[in-house]
Amino acid sequence: MSITTKRFASKNNSFSPKYLYNLNNKPMRVRTILFVILAALSLYSCKKQPVISAESLLNEMINREALAQFPDPAYTLRQFSSYDRATVKPGEPAWFANWDRSMFLRTDSRNGRKEYVMYEADGPGAIVRFWMTFAGENCGRGILRIYFDNQEQPLIEGTALDILSGTLLTGSPLASSVSDSTKYEMRGHNLYFPFPYAQHCKVTYESENIADAGAKTSGEAVYYNIDYRTYEAGTKVITYSKETMDKAAATIESVQEKLKNRDRRMNGLETDSLIASRKIEAGSSMSQTIEGSRAIRQIRFKVSPEINPQALRTTILELIFDGDRTVWCPLGDFFNTGYQLRKSNTWYSSVSPDGNLSCWWVMPFQKSCEIKIHNLRNTEIEIQEMKLISSPWEWRKNSMHFGTSWHQYTNLKTGEMKDNEGNGGPFDTNYVDLTGKGVYVGDAITLFNTVYAWWGEGDEKIAVDNEAFPSFIGTGTEDYYGYAWCRPEKFANHPFIGQPDGSGNFDPGYTVNIRHRGLDAIPFNQHLKFDFEMWHWTRATINYAPVCFWYMLPGGKTNISPDMEGAKAKVALKRSDIISPEIRNGKIEGESMVPESISGGRFRYQNDVKKGWSDNMQIFWTGAQASDKLVLSFDSPEDVATEVVGHFTKASDYGSFKIKLNGKSSGKVIELNHDSLVLQNISLGKVQLNKGQNKLEIIVVKTGSDPKKAFFGLDYLEIKYNNPK
């Protein structure tokens, strides 16, 4: 008897009774019939069962359509990291503990050597993202080993830097370090090459420079984040090996080329384009609708390269898929540039200085998509061109709608000076809460920092499906976004991560960080909560606006409502847009003044709750030498002749200074040298203040205890007039 499998299945996969006969047209016995049916089903099932391999994962990485469908086979994503193990319970200071270096799972002794275990997990699974950075002598030169399926010998062995960002395994961009303009030892090292395993995987690091696991101050510091998938039991996974690498050589080369060239995968698609351009009046909107079962493949906007920054924030993109609004986002934030045009080019989006903003997230819908552009400004805006390319899409039960959540923490107070035990008032900010079934696929942060200190010491905390403790706790904001050591240097040409602007990392200024996900996308079945610690080293007021990207099955919800107030808030282009330099209640804080110029030394804001300074902060000028000059400005609400009193800090390393206010000398040298730290009020005499800007000049006369430098500290100026405005 010869019966082929396909004769049993109709187009809808049901069985037709006419085929339940043997070749002699005689009814078969029931047992034989059942046997044949089960065999056919088994063959059909085996044919459909996917096999996970390095090659299949690489192909998935560059398949944008894959993100728009809930994963099959299903997997969970988790993370191993060197986060501070004192982080145990919300509500305790240690929840924000920051000794996140050289924290390992345990120490193994193998063949006379000490191996620190960073990662260990049972399969079937795959490592899909690997980030590390180091500090200390010969840092990163230790040996990284990866063991598969309980084998005694590692299949991957070499220095960490050669493996993660060198060429030992693969090349850029799958293995890379950022930024190219940062000293190599201060870069983040990112490996996106996937390592599948059927049974088990362990990663260790060996270095004689590590003082001890969890050592806080001495020896080599090792920081790591490793994201990995765990598949459902029974999923067939081909473990990484030299043979699989050899077999996948052509795929690896192809994927590398496509990632480098940002292959947009539009060839061969049956596409339609919707093109529009128009001016949108103040408070008005424009809209377009696409009908049918389709998927948006590209959205492109062309705006003027001289576009007003406020317009990038107050022009809102809204997308409604099948009657459900899932995108409401300022135009610039949607394309990961914030409210200033900053060049970037990732796998999913790009921004060019000439005003082209594009994205290639695949956005499917079953019946219709409505695109709306809102102008929240009180002036007209011009969209020079809007182009949407869509193609047919077969909507299936695992197809998902694309979504974006945006909001701004405007004038966010960051707490006081911090320590690594978590004191000083750090707190968690919410990026997004998602309820439903879907996949989290990326985010970006746009912020304006107002002090001379790092803003991003905080860690991501991502909890999946209402778990009691987050699956993801990292080692710092810059580590999450792929770079390291708070570095301000730009990088904007990696397929999955970027810092188009880092000007605000150490100084008052603007910063944009991007992380898009491919293989490291996070599935959730019920709920995903993404918090990020606001762990600014010192007290500051900042604007902080996260945008999140996700897919969910129809009916999914986000906790972020359209943030009209945040979108309309004045964007910060300079520090004084957030910190007013105007006299208020008869005084102007030193840290509220605008530093106009400095001829030598270093200008900072010093934050300490124990010193007795007003608002716990003073301006702090360090390393100045004789004749160096610092010029500050502040605003007065009126013209007035009044006495001005300076509230100064005195200490042993402070010097002596001449003070001029609007060109008039105080008439005496201000002596700030003292054997202990004290605060003193010193009159600067009667001064004519001008309505608007006034200038305070500080000139070094003599250094303090160190003949090569002088310290200067000013808490605030007190204005001695009545009924101040």
Range with the poorest average pLDDT among 143-147, 315-319, 704-708, 717-721: 704-708
Mean pLDDT of 111-137: 95
Nearest-angstrom CA–CA distance, 622 and 653: 10
Task: Kindly tell me if the per-residue pLDDT of 327 is higher than 80.
Answer: yes
| Per-residue pLDDT tens over the stretch 311-320 | 999 999 999 9
pLDDT of residue 3: 27
- Sorted by sequence, the CB contacts under 8 Å of residue 152 that are 6+ apart come out as none
pLDDT > 70: percent of the chain: 93
pLDDT of residue 272: 87
What does 95-116 look like in DSSP terms, one character per residue? GG----SS--SEEEEETTEEEE
Residue where a domain terminates, one of 234, 261, 288: 261
Burial of 323 (0-12, 13-18, 19+ CB in 10 A): exposed
Residue 67 main-chain phi, psi, to 5 deg: -65, -25
Q: Do 229 and 297 reside in the same domain of the chain?
A: no
Q: Do 206 and 123 reside in the same domain of the chain?
A: yes
Q: Do 124 and 248 reside in the same domain of the chain?
A: yes
pLDDT of residue 386: 94
- Sorted by sequence, the CB contacts under 8 Å of residue 610 that are 6+ apart come out as none
Terminal-to-terminal C-alpha distance of the chain: 101
Tally of helices (H runs) and strands (E runs) in the chain: 10, 47
575 part of a folded domain: no
Query: Contact at 8 Å (CB) between 220 and 157?
Result: no
Task: Kindly tell me if the per-residue pLDDT of 396 is higher than 90.
Answer: yes
pLDDT of residue 74: 97
- Tokens (6 digits) for 80: 């191993």
Q: Do 212 and 323 reside in the same domain of the chain?
A: no
Task: Kindly tell me if the per-residue pLDDT of 44 is higher than 80.
Answer: no
Q: Do 108 and 41 reside in the same domain of the chain?
A: no
Q: Do 323 and 367 reside in the same domain of the chain?
A: yes
Mean pLDDT of 271-289: 91
Query: Contact at 8 Å (CB) between 583 and 448?
Result: no
Largest CA distance in the chain: 121
Rounded alpha-carbon distances, angstroms, from residue 327 to 372, 382, 578: 10, 21, 28
- Sorted by sequence, the CB contacts under 8 Å of residue 535 that are 6+ apart come out as 96, 98, 418, 426, 456, 457, 458, 459
pLDDT of residue 561: 98
Nearest-angstrom CA–CA distance, 148 and 134: 25
Q: Do 382 and 459 reside in the same domain of the chain?
A: yes
Q: Do 283 and 331 reside in the same domain of the chain?
A: yes
Produce one character per residue of 133-166: b if its CB has 16 or more CB atoms within 10 Å, e if not.
bbbbeebbebbbbbbbbeeeebbbebbbbbbbbb
pLDDT band at 7 (very low <50, low <70, confident <90, very high): very low
Mean pLDDT of 388-406: 97
pLDDT of residue 407: 98
Nearest-angstrom CA–CA distance, 191 and 175: 5
Angle at CA 168, nearest 5°, toward 162 and 173? 85
Mean pLDDT of 384-392: 94
The secondary structure of residue 310, as a DSSP letter, is: H
To the nearest 10 degrees (0 to 180), the angle between helices 249-261 and 54-61 is: 20
Nearest-angstrom CA–CA distance, 342 and 504: 14
Q: Do 401 and 439 reside in the same domain of the chain?
A: yes
Residue 524 main-chain phi, psi, to 5 deg: -145, 145
Query: Contact at 8 Å (CB) between 657 and 601?
Result: no
Residue 56 main-chain phi, psi, to 5 deg: -65, -40
Q: Do 40 and 186 reside in the same domain of the chain?
A: no
Q: Residue 568: name the closest of 280, 311, 325, 326 by CA.
A: 311
Task: Kindly tell me if the per-residue pLDDT of 342 is higher than 80.
Answer: yes
Q: Residue 670: name the closest of 653, 682, 687 by CA.
A: 682
Task: Kindly tell me if the per-residue pLDDT of 536 is higher than 50.
Answer: yes
Nearest-angstrom CA–CA distance, 555 and 498: 32
Question: Which residues of 376-465 form beta strands (DSSP E)?
Answer: 381-392, 401-406, 409-413, 427-435, 438-449, 460-464
pLDDT of residue 48: 67
- Sorted by sequence, the CB contacts under 8 Å of residue 270 that are 6+ apart come out as 391, 392
Range with the poorest average pLDDT among 36-50, 211-225, 507-521: 36-50
- Tokens (6 digits) for 74: 């299903």
**Residue 277, phi-psi category: left (phi > 0), alpha (psi -120 to 50), beta (remainder):** beta
Nearest-angstrom CA–CA distance, 29 and 283: 76
680 part of a folded domain: yes
Angle at CA 494, nearest 5°, toward 489 and 498? 45
pLDDT of residue 722: 63
What does 236-296 look like in DSSP terms, one character per residue? EEPPP-HHHHHHTHHHHHHHHHHHHHT----TT---EEEEEEEEE-TT-EEEEEEESSEEE
| Per-residue pLDDT tens over the stretch 672-702 | 999 999 999 999 999 999 999 999 999 999 9
| Per-residue pLDDT tens over the stretch 579-612 | 999 999 999 999 999 999 999 999 999 999 999 9
148 part of a folded domain: yes
Range with the poorest average pLDDT among 3-12, 173-182, 353-362: 3-12
Nearest-angstrom CA–CA distance, 607 and 604: 10
The secondary structure of residue 399, as a DSSP letter, is: B
| Per-residue pLDDT tens over the stretch 495-524 | 999 999 999 999 999 999 999 999 999 999
Range with the poorest average pLDDT among 40-49, 82-91, 632-641: 40-49
- Sorted by sequence, the CB contacts under 8 Å of residue 562 that are 6+ apart come out as 316, 328
Range with the poorest average pLDDT among 217-221, 417-421, 461-465: 217-221
Query: Contact at 8 Å (CB) between 315 and 337?
Result: no
Q: Do 299 and 167 reside in the same domain of the chain?
A: no
61 part of a folded domain: no
- In which domain, by residue range, is 313 found? 272-473+484-566
pLDDT band at 705 (very low <50, low <70, confident <90, very high): confident
Task: Kindly tell me if the per-residue pLDDT of 114 is higher than 60.
Answer: yes
Range with the poorest average pLDDT among 22-31, 135-144, 158-167: 22-31
631 part of a folded domain: yes
pLDDT of residue 380: 95
When divided into structural domains, the chain yields a total of: 4
Burial of 246 (0-12, 13-18, 19+ CB in 10 A): exposed
57 part of a folded domain: no
Task: Kindly tell me if the per-residue pLDDT of 270 is higher than 80.
Answer: yes
pLDDT of residue 31: 52
> What is the C-alpha radius of gyration for the chain, rounded to an integer number of angstroms?
30
The mean predicted confidence, pLDDT, of the chain is 92
Nearest-angstrom CA–CA distance, 352 and 492: 11
Amino acid letter for position 55: E
pLDDT band at 25 (very low <50, low <70, confident <90, very high): very low
511 part of a folded domain: yes
Q: Do 518 and 634 reside in the same domain of the chain?
A: no
60 part of a folded domain: no
Residue with tokens 């605030």: 716
Query: Contact at 8 Å (CB) between 121 and 150?
Result: no
Whole-prediction pTM value?
A: 0.92
pLDDT band at 708 (very low <50, low <70, confident <90, very high): confident
